Amino acid sequence: MQKQIKRRLLFIGILAALIMPFTGFGQQIKMDANKMQLANQYYRSRDFEKAAVLYQEIYGSSGSQHYFNLYLNCLIEMGDFEQAETDIEKQLRKRNNDPYLYVQWGYLLKQQNLLEAATEKFDQAIQLVSNNKTDYIQLANAFLSRREYEYAQQTYQLGRNKLNNEAFHYELARVYLYQRNYELMFQEYLELLKDDETNLVRVQSSMLTAFRMDVDNSLRDEFRTALLRRIQQNPNVIAYNHLLIWLFVQEKRFSQALRQSIALDKRIGEGDGQIANLARVAAGNDGVDEAIRAYNYLIEKGTEGEFYQEAYSGKMQMLYRQFVDQPKEYRHSEVLKDQFEETFKVIGFTTETTPLVIDYAHFLAFYQNRIEEATELVERQMKLGGLSVLNRDQLKNELADIHVLKDDLWEAILLYSQIIDANKNNPLGDEVKLKKARLGYFMGNLSWAQAQLDVLKASTSKLIANDALELSVFISNNIALDTTTAAMELFAKADLYSFRNQDSLAWVTLDSIESKYSYNSLLDDVYFRKAKTLIKQGEYNRSVGFLMKIKNEFAYDLLGDDAMFLLGEIYETQLNKKEEAAELFKEILTRYPGSIYVEEARSRYRRLRGEVPVEQEAPLPFEPEIN
């Protein structure tokens, strides 16, 4: 028994001995962290004397060059150059002529304007560097930390000469970026890619960093030129082609990106995934035509293609979007219906096709008045086995919209409430909260709707938050000035008719507001809604009259800049009145300097005046036929 007790005590003693150093180590880390925080606080408040003491202690325990730098900075700020030099010499005796310390010594001398002596120390640092990659990188980083970019460049170039198979392309490119020597930066990145094509993502990330520093977009043009030249010189470096496609996508030049992608696929194959991804990106950035062309290319590859069904579905979604965005007079709803039916014959009704089913149901209900057919379609899809909870709620959301169309508003509210309860922590929940609040507005429950909208202003979705803010401000501005809400309730009714695509009823309702409440604060909103309705119908000349009314009679109301910008857009893009458009965009800059349209108005004005040349399409090494 005593032997067992002794063994247990011995075991406990050994365990305690093992644990204690780690416990002390943990306490040490905590103490150093507190000391670092305090030192940084002193440094930021420019209490360099206190900061220096702490940084010296931290450096002594950690050996971190970063904290030695900060310690030296404190001494330099205090003007104590003698102590700084003494400490560097002391460290040199300990660390056997460490080149890093010569960089700090050179920096110290440079701060005293002793430039020749500083150059001598920097040169010594380069002479002392050991012949291994890590040491070259550490020395170059020491120079970079002191903004001695030329010496960092010299360090890497020496390493390139001394070390076999170490070209330092990536590292030198970074130095050239700091030096703003973009031409040499391009060459290093392109050489890096030529040596190893797996560096593509690394180069893309680095170029994005460089582009963020580009104030006039000239850097992209220069890089594109350098890249095209490399493609012509090295046609077998396929990564160059992928980089060009990526560059076109960054610039939202989806047509060029697609042309290059198809050419590359025809040349080496295995490009379907990239083309499918390009179609998705284009679709998400208003590149509808390019997305359709990409999907057509994938469809033409046949049913065995990996992306055949996705392409069929994606193309149909784009055709539907084109239909919705077109003026009414150009819409051919029967043609679109036939295209929907042909698509579902090919891809079927499955859980994966739920988004397209929602589009089709909305089209049937809101654009063809086939309400029962749309309802049956949604309810049939909801009964599919394997449907996710989210998909089922998305279908229920469309069903609620159809109930709004049918004027079954309380049933719509019930469905919206169910969706909100089931989706409290995802974007669908906020989207439906906005719909429910807007439905309250449609029904004339203005104060209740505004309370719901005010909550949504804090939504994580910027789009939903902005829409909620806009409608909330609109309600607030127009019920605060009047003792009666009758005009506002009529306006909400007109918006309900617009939601249902019942434009003639909306117009009649707006007319009644104009005739009954001719001095109401809503009058400019009535004109703006009428203008938007006419634009939707393709009647641009008639819409101009209403926008001009706002410009001339309500210029300093909330819709003044909105109306003027929309008017400029119509003149530029629809009526080919470039001079009038330019003058309107110029007027926005002077009349509404705080407007959200200022930057876009300035850009359009400069382009219309010829100050910014229209971007020419870059020549491509491959020019395939695209149907």
| Span 208-218, average pLDDT | 82
With H, G, I as helix, E, B as strand and everything else as coil, classify residue 148. coil
Looking at the fold, whether 572 and 483 belong to one and the same domain comes out as: yes
The reply to whether 343 falls in a domain is: yes
CATH (domain of 595): 1.25.40.10
Q: Could you give the percent of the chain with pLDDT greater than 90?
A: 70
Cut 0.85: pTM above it: no
Domain assignment of residue 515, yes or no: yes
Confidence at residue 366, expressed as pLDDT on a 0 to 100 scale? 95
Q: What is the rounded CA–CA span in Å between residue 352 and residue 347?
A: 9
Let me know whether 506 and 402 are in one domain. no
Q: Which of 475-479, 481-485, 587-591 has the lowest mean pLDDT?
A: 481-485
Residues 513 and 597 in one domain: yes
Note the pLDDT tens digit of each residue in 537-585.
999 999 999 999 999 999 888 899 999 999 999 999 999 999 999 999 9
Shared-domain flag, residues 493 and 573: yes
* Three-state DSSP class for residue 146: coil
- For tokens 């049939």, name the residue: 380
- Each residue's pLDDT tens digit, 253-288: 999 999 999 999 999 988 899 999 999 999 999 899
Average pLDDT over residues 315-335: 89
Cβ atoms of 398 and 382 within 8 Å: the answer is no
pLDDT tens figures, 59-113: 888 888 888 889 888 988 999 999 988 988 888 888 878 899 899 999 999 999 9
Is residue 402 assigned to a domain?
Answer: yes
Q: Which structural domain range is residue 577 located in? A: 478-608
| Torsion region of 511: left, alpha or beta (phi above 0 gives left; psi -120 to 50 gives alpha) | alpha
73 contacts: CB under 8 Å, gap ≥ 6: 43, 48
Residue 460 lies in a domain: no
Give me the pLDDT at residue 212, please.
87
Model pLDDT, residue 611: 64
Half-sphere exposure of 170 (CA within 13 A, CB side): 14
Residue 539 located in a structural domain: yes
Same domain, 407 and 494: no
Q: pLDDT, tens digit, for every residue of 490-545?
A: 999 999 999 999 999 999 999 999 999 888 889 999 999 999 999 999 999 999 99
Q: Is the pLDDT of residue 619 over 80?
A: no
Q: What integer pLDDT is reported at residue 483 of this predicted model?
A: 57
Choosing from 384, 405, 422, the residue where a domain stops is: 422
Residues 484 and 601 in one domain: yes
The 8-class DSSP code of residue 305 comes to S
What pLDDT band is residue 144 in, cutting at 50, 70 and 90?
very high
For the chain, give the mean pLDDT: 88
Confidence of residue 624 (pLDDT cuts 50, 70, 90): very low
Place of tokens 């309802």: 375
pLDDT confidence of 615, banded at 50, 70, 90?
A: very low
Question: Is 563 a member of any domain?
Answer: yes
Domain boundary among 381, 405, 422: 422
Whether 210 is in a domain gets the answer no
**191, two tokens:** 């050489």
Question: Within this chain, do residues 387 and 506 fall inside the same structural domain, yes or no?
Answer: no
Q: What is the pLDDT of residue 481?
A: 61
Q: Tell me how far CA of residue 441 lies from CA of 188, 422, 453, 547, in angstroms.
A: 60, 23, 10, 25
Q: Would you state the pLDDT for residue 3?
A: 46
Examine the domain organization and report whether 406 and 516 are in the same domain.
Answer: no
Does residue 491 fall inside a structural domain?
A: yes
Contact in structure between 513 and 490 (CB atoms under 8 Å): yes
Q: Does the pLDDT of residue 17 top 60, yes or no?
A: no
Q: Which residue has the tokens 């809101």?
A: 366
Asked whether residue 416 falls in the same domain as residue 499, the answer is no
Q: Examine the fold and report which residue of 422, 447, 466 is the final residue of a domain before the chain moves on.
A: 422
Indicate the number of domains in the chain. Answer: 2
Regarding whether 484 and 413 lie in a shared domain, the answer is no
Instruction: State whether 603 and 502 are in the same domain.
Output: yes
**Residue 486 sits in the same domain as residue 415:** no
Percent of the chain with pLDDT over 70: 91
* Cα dist from 170 to 30, 179, 189, 323, 512, whole Å: 37, 15, 6, 48, 69
